[in-house]
Structure 1
């Protein structure tokens, strides 16, 4: 499988503070990677660095064989990096449809296709972003990222703080994206049980360093690293 993303010897942080140290991993075309770890270990910083909103001290980030570590966030987005931050960052004053069309780029993910993935958004297409529930705002944030037609989708804690029924809907949509559509993705998640079944590979961060990498299925079968680094089992 050809590498879509290659990260080598990456150290990054904010200002003078180094949060990530010597991070290295690869992601193939159509692969999904779970990034696990406790709070404050650098998971969000990793996504922020891939997007380009941190300070990179050392290392390289290559997307499709092209070095992007020195490029501005908007340039990386134009090259196919889609981002769903924890804060969602939807346009609260715009309607659902306007949120999706404002950032849309040509490609297979059309407005209608996003609405098929998230029927709730179609029902609320004329409502403002501010009027949506937290779960609907998360769907909109994911839909908006898809409307940019990314090669790589980055999701930061997509199920955090949502009602169980909404979590089920989101996980079903993500399963379709990852398993049927084969969209490459990196998903930051604290709850391993939610995300390992629908990802191909996983890594665990501890104090800004990768302390474990494996296939997701292997981590589910032998949850000892989860017990050691997260204090939970994969069951």
Structure 2
């Protein structure tokens, strides 16, 4: 299967500061990448650079054979990059259904399909965004990103701060989206063991550069690999 995303020697930051440097990787269509690392190593900056909201320092981003490096965030979204930020950024004064349809684009993902994935959203379709729980807002943010029918889905710590029962529900949805639906995705997550089982490859950042790139299974199978690279405790 051909590469959908190719990142070459990518450097970016904020203002004069450089936060990521000479990052390179590729992702095949239908593949899922776990983007890992300690806090402050550049994971969110990398996602922000892919959507075009950082200060570009150099490199190239190719999506589905087209160079999207010079494109604005709006044009990158139209080119097929969907984004679920940490802050969720749902429209607080719109209903659930209005949130979903506000930026919808034609394709296989529609309101009915999102409701099938997240029955909670169907039940609350007339509720305003600010009337939802944190978990429901995260489901809405994910559903809204799917509604643009992206080629590439970026998720920035989708499980952060959620109750265990909601984490399990979202994990089941993510597994379905990336495994059964074959959505190409990059997932940033502190709970590495939660997402490694259903991602194909993993990238670990350290001080803005790549310190590991390889199969997700390798990190799960090698004794102490995650502990050594991420400073996490063995589950």
Same fold by TM-score greater than 0.5 = yes
Aligned to 1:34: 34
Distance in 1, matches of 2:232 and 2:126, equals 42
Is 1:131 matched with 2:137? no
Is 1:175 matched with 2:157? no
SS at match of 2:169: helix
Aligned to 1:18: 18
Shift of 1:233: 5.0
SS at match of 1:185: strand
Distance in 1, matches of 2:187 and 2:234, equals 17
> What per-residue deviation string (whole Å, max 9, x for no partner) do you get for residues 155-181 of structure 1?
000000000000000000000001100
Aligned to 2:61: 61
Q: Which moved more, 1:127-136 or 1:61-70?
A: 61-70
TM-score (norm 2): 0.98
Aligned to 2:87: 87
TM-score (norm 1): 0.98
SS at match of 2:177: helix
SS at match of 2:6: strand
Change (3 A) 1:133 1:68: same
Whether the 8 Å CA contact 1:12–1:20 is kept in 2: the answer is yes
5+ unaligned residues in a row in structure 1: which ranges? none
Whether the 8 Å CA contact 1:212–1:225 is kept in 2: the answer is no
> What per-residue deviation string (whole Å, max 9, x for no partner) do you get for residues 12-57 of structure 1?
0000000001100000000000000010000000000000000111
SS at match of 1:127: coil
SS at match of 1:41: coil
Change (3 A) 1:139 1:210: same
Shift of 1:190: 1.1
SS at match of 2:100: helix
Distance in 2, matches of 1:93 and 1:110, equals 21
Distance in 2, matches of 1:119 and 1:160, equals 21
Whether the 8 Å CA contact 1:35–1:189 is kept in 2: the answer is yes
Is 1:44 matched with 2:44? yes
Shift of 1:219: 1.1
